[in-house]
Every structure is written in C-alpha cells, then in structure tokens.
Amino acid sequence: MNTQTLQTLAQQFRADLTTVTSADELRELEIRYLGRKQGLVTELLRKLKDLSIEQRKKIGPQIQQLKVEITAEIENTESQILNFRSQISVDVTLPGEKIPVGHYCPLTTIRRQAEDVFRSMGFMVIDGPELESEYYNFEAVNIPAWHPAREMWDTFYVRDPERDKEMKRQGDEESNRLLLRTHTSAMQVRIMREFPLPIKAIVPGTVYRNEATDARHEKAFLNVEGLLVGKGISLQHLISVNRVFLKKVLGDDVQVRFRPGYFPFTEPSLELDISCLICKQTGCSVCKKTGWLEYMGAGMVHPNVLRAGGIDPKKYTGFAFGFGLDRLVMLKYGVDDVRLFRSQDLRFIQQF
C-alpha cells in the first residue's frame, strides 16, 4: 500500500460517482467504499496495522483524508439528488396524455357480427383464396367456358407464364387460368370435397368484378357465401336462416322480399331484397327510387354442383346463398355510396 494505491482508488471513486443516477445507487456506492465490513477505504484502514510505524505515520493520514473527501462528495451528490426531486414533484391527479387509437372499419365490425350470428346457428366460418382458378370460380359451379353468365361475372385475369407453359404442356389452356374470384361461390365445391356431410358453412371474403362503379357497385367488395348440404334440406330452411340473421343485424323494422332469380349453380334460384333503410322507402339513388335494395342471391344447390363436390344429388340436397356485406353495412348505417368504404377518406371512416 502506498500513495499511488490511494490515488488510483480516488480516481476509481470519481469515475464510479459519475455513473450514479439515483439515491439508491449512491447508497450502494457509499457502502462499496466506506461500508463498515468490506468498504474499500475501510479495508485500507484495517490493513494499516500490518505496516511499520513509519509507513503508518505516512499513509494513515492520507487514508483518513481520502475518507473525508469521499464522504463529502457523497453528501454533496445526495443533496443534489434531493434538490432535484423537490423541483420535479409530480401531480398524479393530472389527466394523462390522450393517445389516439384507431378503430375497426364498419365492414370489419359487421363481418365479425355476421360470423358470430352464423356460428350461433352452427355454421363454420371458412376462408378461401382471392386468387382463384378459373375452374373453381366458374366450371365447378356449372358455368362452363361457353356460358353467357361468364360475362355477368367478368373479372381480372392474372398471367403466370410458368403456369401457362405447364398448362399448355398438359393440353389444358383454359380451365386453370388464375383470376381474382368474382364470388365466394368459388368455395362451394372445395368445401364439399373437404368436409363430411352434413355441411354448414359460411365464407366471408373479398370478391372482384370488372364492371363500372356507381353508388351500389364497386370493383372489390365483401361477399358472404352460405352453404348447407344434408338430408331433406329445403328452401324453407334457407328463408328461415336468413330471416333470423337479418333481424339480428338490422333489427325488427327490416322488411325482406324474395323474388325469382337465375344463377347457373342453383335451381330453383331466388333473390332477396331488403327494404331501403336509407330513404325509408321514399326513394333515393341507392335504391334507384324503388324502395328496395338487392342484397342476396340464393337457391337450392344445382345437382351438377353437388356432383362436382362428390355428393349424390339423389340422396342429399342443399341451399346456398351469397350476400353483399357492403350493401348490408350501407343499410345499417345509412351510407349512401358503396365507394366510400374503400375511399381511404378519414372524414368518412371517423364517423363510425
């Protein structure tokens, strides 16, 4: 032990002191240097007895001096900390800072509500690909390449050169082209092939149409497909399920009407209209002044579709329906233009 040892210890203390950020850390530092049992300065004082008298006389006062300095610096830092604390007193009763949070788009809110209502009636909720093959979107649901209905459901085709080459090699150039699905009916045959009977499923998801837009028509919108296949299923089941659903979502005031329709994948087919809740049936641009809004296509699953799904149409029957979720949300909230939903306009979305 010599003067150099003391200088090194003093330097080390000052370096340690600069890292102190709280009263607790300062207390730890004090114990490390001045603690009665193992403090670094205390140790030096304890070792004095092993030195000769001359050395003791020389180094003893230096250690005492170091102890005084360290004590003073610790006290000084402590008062600085206390002073700082008194300056930054916090009023915990003040209201917190408001952090803006987002919320669901009404399409998502009602889609989830629709899923819950159908789940409560025993339907499973299934997802499907938006990029679909021509086969599942059209052929599997009884719309072969020559069928005029293809024009009604025109969409956007996707070119994939590698896939096209492979199809050409297999002599299949048409039926497996990729497209953006025009309806969630594209999932009907996939579901029939995958799940055992009886089948009770809904498929919510985005569909695409290559058509002009207006207050009721968008290029992309949400469709909800419903499919129930089993023994003895009739149109009566289709009507009851949808009445229950619409009352739950739109309330008791809603009026519905069924009228005959045509879809290649159902026979017989019908369409369901809802009374226009936007103008209360007095006539507006959404209902084209008719008081009714076309909301859903439906019918009994065509035997050809059941066969494509591997189901014997002599033993089983089923109903299917597909409704536009955007139209449902329009009616629920009185939105008078379907294009607003995907307009990215915050002034619109913040109203919900």
Residues of this chain that interact with ligand FA5 (CB under 6 A) are 183, 185, 209, 211, 217-218, 221, 223, 225, 263, 266, 294-299, 320-324, 326-327, 338
Two tokens, residue 59: 């180094």
Determine the length of the chain: 352
Q: Which residue is nearest to ligand FA5 (CB)?
A: 324
Choose between 63 and 338: whose C-beta lies nearer to ligand FA5. 338
Write the DSSP string, 143-197: --TT-THHHHT---EE--HHHHHHHHHTT--STT-EEE-S-GGGGHHHHHHHSPS
CB of 296 to ligand FA5, least distance (A): 5
Residues 324 and 297 sit within 8 Å (Cβ to Cβ) = no
Cβ nearer to ligand FA5, comparing 41 with 227: 227
CB of 258 to ligand FA5, least distance (A): 12
Q: Which letter, b or e, does each residue of 75-85 get, where b requires 16 or more Cβ atoms within 10 Å of its Cβ?
A: eebeeeeeeee
Residue 287 region by backbone torsions, left for phi larger than 0, else alpha for psi between -120 and 50, else beta: alpha
Residue 142 contacts residue 265 (beta carbons within 8 Å): yes
Separation of alpha carbons 178 and 165, rounded Å:
13
Token pair 């205390």 in the structure block, residue: 42
CB-nearer residue toward ligand FA5: 43 or 211: 211
The residue to which tokens 């199809």 are assigned: 167
As measured in angstroms, the least distance from the Cβ of 114 to ligand FA5 is 13
Nearer to ligand FA5, 111 or 183 (CB): 183
Smallest separation, CB 119 to ligand FA5 (Å)? 19
State the nearest-atom distance from the C-beta of 272 to ligand FA5, in Å.
8
Comparison of 20 and 274: residue with beta carbon closer to ligand FA5:
274
Residues 290 and 89: their CA atoms lie apart, in Å, by 68
Nearer to ligand FA5, 74 or 111 (CB): 111
Provide, rounded to whole angstroms, the least separation between the CB of residue 94 and ligand FA5. Answer: 49
